[in-house]
Structure 1
Amino acid sequence: MQLVAAEIARQEGKSGVHVLDTGTEALITRAWLVEQAQESIEVQYFIWSTDNIGILAAETLLRAAERGVKVRVIVDDLLINAPDKSLLALAHHPNIDIRIYNPKNSVGVTLARRAFNALTDFRGINQRMHDKTFIVDGKIAVAGGRNMAAEYYDYNHEFNFRDRDVLLLGSAVKTMQASFERFWESPLSARVEDLYNGLGLMQKNVSADSDEVQAIYRELGAYAQAPENFAPEVRQAITAAPAAFAEIARQIVWSRVEFISDMPGKNANTFSLDGGGLSTSALAEMAAQAQTRITIQSPYLVLSNEAIELFRGILARGVTVRINTNSLASTDNIQAFSGYRNQRKKLLKMGFEIFEYKPYPQVQQALMNRFEATKNKQLVFGLHAKTMVVDGARVYVGTYNFDPRSQNLNTEAGVIIHDESVARKVEAAIEVDMAPGNSWNAASDDPDRHVPLAKRSKVRLWQNLPIKPLL
């Protein structure tokens, strides 16, 4: 970390960036950063699963806390699935603080309370924290699309995401940390301990005495050390992290980088489902400045009326707009795909070039054949990367999906990198994903024919429901 601090000082005012395009790189980077942390670790995630990757991440943070590092964690409430006592035990550690964003669905919430929230605060339960940030010692960080689960790091043996993160050093990290502090201090972020001390039907009452806490710590450590609980490739990647990170660090580019993020709560609307946000405004401005081409990669593509009008003007100026998104065969969200399917013909007629990702793309061979358990095995791949490249000169990498939910409801975060070498490298990677071996051309290939009739019928049902603002 001393070398990192020295390089940051030498590059005053700039930010160091390296795009993490593979799951292994992204995992190695996070593992190395946790091991090197000396003072603090601050992490923010939408999903934290209790699969092997999620447990390994929790155990490494616990070990960091044991050696005196202050650990702060914010996790969105919607999809967290940690056992109550385990979550509470981690929060009881003197060096670990955990807060849950907008706890209306899961943590400490009884079924009665969940039903009450759905009836009385529909907008509120749909406002989620979609940010993914990882900050170490206030100096070095990771931002991007990956959550904390095996499928985001190419280690799931059935389904994996094609995703993208950015390693950051320098001034952009300060902006990221300021955003984290806003979420940490927000009334929407509740202490785990406060969510389990309720009485009656509306809040759970869960406790863990000191013996239970220590037992959970021991179980977590034992699980993380048992070879049978982790694929050899996972442990090998973690073991090789120091040498591998040195190679990653050599590829860092110093340039102007903006970290953009929404405020907690997104916008001031109370009842309606629109309202926009800071991320929406920044990305709309970035797109509007395009002179020649825009290249987008987004797992979900459901354009609002405002977005359609924005791109209508951009296309009218002769700007080429290419989009790589999921096909019906690769998507993990059939509801979101129904919104895209409703407007696909319109978008193509407007002039968008759309390429839909194949569930068994050629690129997966390079990513998965290195693992003995998945060698020569067909695994479903889906897009999860959220990226926009403008004129091959500026690139956004973050959490923002091109849909109404990211526009109006979910808080989002990401970076805009003003560097041609980085932008062109990312654009080239997206072009590989758009190539015929990895994607179908939506204008000519009829991608929906590659899925069973039952799935097409199911998505057709969703198409008829008035759910666009929630997609």
Structure 2
Amino acid sequence: MRGMRRLLLLLILAATLATGGCSLSAARIQKADAVVALTVDRQSTCAQPDHCALPSVLVDAALEANAASTPDKPVHVATLLEDGETALAARVNLIRAARQTIDVQTYIWEQDDAGKLVLDELIAAARRGVRVRILADQLFSFRDPGLLAVLARASDNIEIRLYNPTFYSARTPPLEFAAGIVCCFFHFNQRMHNKLIVIDDLIGITGGRNYEDRYFDWDPAFDYVDRDVMVGGPAAKAMGASFDQFWVHKRAVPLTHLRDVNSELVADTDDLKRWAPPTYDNPERVTELLEHAEDAGWVDERLVRATLRLNRVEYLSDLPGKTDDPKRREARTLTRHIMGLVRNAKSEIVLQTPYLVMSKPAKKIFSNLHKQPDPPRVVVSTNSLASTDAFAVYAMSYKHRKRYLIDYGFEIYELKPHPANADRDALEGPTTDIITPPINRPVGSGGGDRRPTRAERSRAAGTSGPSESAGFLSAGRRYGPGARHRPAPLLTEGVRFGLHAKSIVVDDTFAMVGTHNFDPRSDHYNTESGVIIYDKRFSDRLRGSIMQDTEPGNAWVIGPRQKTIPVLSEINEFIGDVSERLPFFDLWPFRYATSYDLKPGCIPMRWTDPKFFECYEPVGDFPEVDVSLKMIYTRMITAFGSASSGIL
């Protein structure tokens, strides 16, 4: 009986959404707007024309690039932001240097230390006179109507909108979430995956990072290996123009139009809640980062020395409401551009993506490339089951390993959960991960001497011349810090790292850093953005960064199983091929490929090398994961199938 009631309520909610019955009346919106106008904090902390902007060598470099640019020959400055601390400090530095405008676009905004710090910095900028606009995807951002009611009145210079809110609400409880799927799946499923911050239309940052501790190496249990790029010069104007397109789109909804936030505003007229300085879980760490952001020497060492002066740079973004008119060429601008670059590859493609699940167009492109007489080398850096926090997506990648190796010629390297080049900053605090006795690992499995961190590599480059799972199905698990995407338990201890960077280098001549995961969701559902840089020096640096993540101390190699018993091996492979083609129930447990680690005394080589089996030893399909094969396969069989890859 209780189940029938829930089903009936679900259907009623779905019908209400379908008829638009959840939007607020104009009178209700006007009432909340009036409350905001009367109670907004109008304090000003600066009366100077430049709004008390702090000096910044990063902004100065962008100004110089703009001044040197001509219509025929633009000039840009670009910096790879590899480690979390540098990426966060760069944002704070730019926010404090803003004179006129700050535009921020993101997929996730969590209320942990990183999220609160950036929000507090933006409010401080607004109170000194800078116009601040924040556009965040509704499903994974804020999710607290009371907080948003406070932010709506934090300053008369700050405005926040949520993209594609479900039922015109800031928070989506599970029942409304399910109703949104039943009612209008394609509308609900289209999310804004863009990440962007633009300062004065002069300099901006885009890439994989959202506003949550784990994107900046601040999570004590699980952190992301991620990447941004900071670009100053004419391309920043394109960033600002793209933000404007999203800002005025019908799916970007002001806070007073949201039912739950509107109710908070209308009810909170006597006991006003004001924005107060945040309380941090680790205040010493926050203080240290703020000091670094204003330390000219630190900024010079970490950022300026790693900056390249170059010419051709393009910022590309899909259009908002991507699924409204999918046949419109401009709707999938970034996706189409990436496909064109890959299709024309001649010698090498180096790809880094958290989720190795290919769309149909991508499969066709890679298949055609591999059929060429002299096909380009394709290197793929991605997650292992031990490192990912998106089990569903990994299951689809695992399912098609043979196709990736044989039909496309991929060289696949899966990140270890404790890579040797892990960032020291992330390893400094205590861990809240499950502590289990470490297993005896072979040489090259992540132990031993640590390689230089990403920050150290960036500084070295400068002296010599940067899961979210993108799928909406994770939303039901995202109601509290750290609740989203619980990774598989490990046999090893310590802070775990998962890959989140999205980058590609083609033929060592041009490179892309952005938000595109190179999967069906990014192709067809989510809006994506990225920077494409046509410069060999930049491409070499990005390629070097990705390739280091494929080294034996950082990743396992995926290769075919050695055929020890000819007849049985052939029968096993045949049954595995049949099972792989089943859309839902892929039952056969013995797969064509498995994970390998380098043996002591050997040098790294490709899986196609005749001596591969002499120098690599198999470590199982799911190394370092403390879960039985029976449980893993049961979850795959019951939950996932190839037909759902575009949704996941």
TM-score, normalised with respect to structure 2 = 0.67
Shift of 1:7: 3.8
* Residue number in structure 2 paired with 1:95: 157
* Residue number in structure 1 paired with 2:395: 338
3-state SS of the aligned residue for 2:264?
A: coil
Question: For 1:359-398, what aligned pairs fall within 5 Å after superposition?
Answer: 359-364=417-422, 366-369=424-427, 371-373=428-430, 378-398=494-514
Shift of 1:461: 3.3
Among 121, 135, 153, the alignment partner of 2:184 is: 121
3-state SS of the aligned residue for 1:382?
A: strand
The verdict on how the C-alpha distance between 1:118 and 1:142 changes in structure 2, with shifts beyond 3 A counting, is: same
Q: In 2, distance between residues paired with 1:365 and 1:30?
A: 19
Q: What percent of counterpart residues are identical?
A: 33
Given the alignment of the two structures, is residue 349 of structure 1 paired with residue 411 of structure 2, yes or no? no
The verdict on how the C-alpha distance between 1:82 and 1:246 changes in structure 2, with shifts beyond 3 A counting, is: farther
Q: In 1, distance between residues paired with 2:278 and 2:339?
A: 49
Count of aligned positions: 456
Residues 108 and 195 in structure 1, CA contact (< 8 A), matched pair in contact too: no
Over the aligned positions, Cα root-mean-square deviation in angstroms equals: 2.5
> Which deviates further from its counterpart, 329-338 or 230-239?
230-239
* Residue number in structure 2 paired with 1:320: 377
Among 11, 15, 18, the alignment partner of 2:79 is: 18
Read off the aligned partner of 1:21 and give its amino acid letter. Answer: E
The verdict on how the C-alpha distance between 1:121 and 1:222 changes in structure 2, with shifts beyond 3 A counting, is: closer
The verdict on how the C-alpha distance between 1:149 and 1:450 changes in structure 2, with shifts beyond 3 A counting, is: same
* Residue number in structure 1 paired with 2:129: 68
Q: State the Cα deviation string for residues 169-202 of structure 1 (Å, max 9, x = none).
A: 011111111110000000010001111379xxxx
The verdict on how the C-alpha distance between 1:352 and 1:81 changes in structure 2, with shifts beyond 3 A counting, is: same
Q: State the Cα deviation string for residues 140-166 of structure 1 (Å, max 9, x = none).
A: 110100000000001100000000000
Shift of 1:354: 0.5
* Residue number in structure 2 paired with 1:287: 342
* Residue number in structure 2 paired with 1:240: 292
3-state SS of the aligned residue for 2:275?
A: helix
Given the alignment of the two structures, is residue 143 of structure 1 paired with residue 206 of structure 2, yes or no? yes
Shift of 1:111: 6.4
* Residue number in structure 2 paired with 1:205: 263
Read off the aligned partner of 1:330 and give its amino acid letter. Answer: S
Residues 355 and 383 in structure 2, CA contact (< 8 A), matched pair in contact too: yes
Question: For 1:190-201, what aligned pairs fall within 5 Å after superposition?
Answer: 190-196=253-259
* Residue number in structure 2 paired with 1:30: 91
Residues 301 and 340 in structure 1, CA contact (< 8 A), matched pair in contact too: yes
Read off the aligned partner of 2:315 and give its amino acid letter. Answer: F
Q: State the Cα deviation string for residues 52-88 of structure 1 (Å, max 9, x = none).
A: 1111111111111111111100000111234211112
Residues 223 and 426 in structure 2, CA contact (< 8 A), matched pair in contact too: no
Shift of 1:440: 0.5
Q: In 1, distance between residues paired with 2:141 and 2:423?
A: 31
Given the alignment of the two structures, is residue 427 of structure 1 paired with residue 483 of structure 2, yes or no? no
Q: Which has the higher contact order (CA 8 A, sep 6+)?
A: 1
Shift of 1:463: 3.5
3-state SS of the aligned residue for 1:78?
A: coil
3-state SS of the aligned residue for 1:389?
A: strand
The verdict on how the C-alpha distance between 1:111 and 1:439 changes in structure 2, with shifts beyond 3 A counting, is: closer
* Residue number in structure 1 paired with 2:31: none
* Residue number in structure 2 paired with 1:84: 145
3-state SS of the aligned residue for 1:34?
A: helix
3-state SS of the aligned residue for 2:646?
A: helix
Q: State the Cα deviation string for residues 80-134 of structure 1 (Å, max 9, x = none).
A: 2342111122122311111100001651657665444221101111100000000
Gaps of 5+ in 2: 1-55, 433-446, 448-492, 560-594, 597-619
Residues 262 and 412 in structure 1, CA contact (< 8 A), matched pair in contact too: yes
> Which deviates further from its counterpart, 303-312 or 7-16?
7-16
3-state SS of the aligned residue for 1:217?
A: coil
* Residue number in structure 1 paired with 2:115: 54
The verdict on how the C-alpha distance between 1:39 and 1:408 changes in structure 2, with shifts beyond 3 A counting, is: same
Q: In 2, distance between residues paired with 1:276 and 1:439?
A: 36
The verdict on how the C-alpha distance between 1:112 and 1:352 changes in structure 2, with shifts beyond 3 A counting, is: closer
Residues 42 and 135 in structure 1, CA contact (< 8 A), matched pair in contact too: yes
Question: For 1:99-114, what aligned pairs fall within 5 Å after superposition?
Answer: 99-104=161-166, 107=170, 113-114=176-177
Q: In 2, distance between residues paired with 1:425 and 1:101?
A: 34
Gaps of 5+ in 1: 199-203
Shift of 1:21: 0.6
Read off the aligned partner of 1:307 and give its amino acid letter. Answer: A
The verdict on how the C-alpha distance between 1:111 and 1:161 changes in structure 2, with shifts beyond 3 A counting, is: closer
Q: In 1, distance between residues paired with 2:521 and 2:159?
A: 29
* Residue number in structure 1 paired with 2:43: none
* Residue number in structure 2 paired with 1:467: 644
Q: In 1, distance between residues paired with 2:222 and 2:260?
A: 38
Residues 102 and 132 in structure 2, CA contact (< 8 A), matched pair in contact too: yes
3-state SS of the aligned residue for 2:263?
A: coil
Among 307, 325, 337, the alignment partner of 1:252 is: 307
TM-score, normalised with respect to structure 1 = 0.91
The verdict on how the C-alpha distance between 1:109 and 1:450 changes in structure 2, with shifts beyond 3 A counting, is: closer
Q: In 2, distance between residues paired with 1:116 and 1:372?
A: 42
3-state SS of the aligned residue for 1:410?
A: coil
> Which deviates further from its counterpart, 452-461 or 172-181?
452-461
Read off the aligned partner of 2:496 and give its amino acid letter. Answer: V
Among 293, 304, 318, the alignment partner of 1:262 is: 318
Q: In 2, distance between residues paired with 1:372 and 1:195?
A: 39
* Residue number in structure 2 paired with 1:201: none
Read off the aligned partner of 2:365 and give its amino acid letter. Answer: L
Residues 108 and 205 in structure 1, CA contact (< 8 A), matched pair in contact too: no
3-state SS of the aligned residue for 1:321?
A: strand
Shift of 1:39: 1.1
The verdict on how the C-alpha distance between 1:455 and 1:56 changes in structure 2, with shifts beyond 3 A counting, is: farther
Read off the aligned partner of 1:450 and give its amino acid letter. Answer: E
- Of the two, which has the highest radius of gyration? 2
Q: In 1, distance between residues paired with 2:636 and 2:180?
A: 28
Shift of 1:314: 1.6
> Which deviates further from its counterpart, 237-246 or 104-113?
104-113
Q: In 2, distance between residues paired with 1:395 and 1:216?
A: 45
Residues 135 and 163 in structure 2, CA contact (< 8 A), matched pair in contact too: yes
> Which deviates further from its counterpart, 440-449 or 103-112?
103-112
* Residue number in structure 2 paired with 1:230: 282
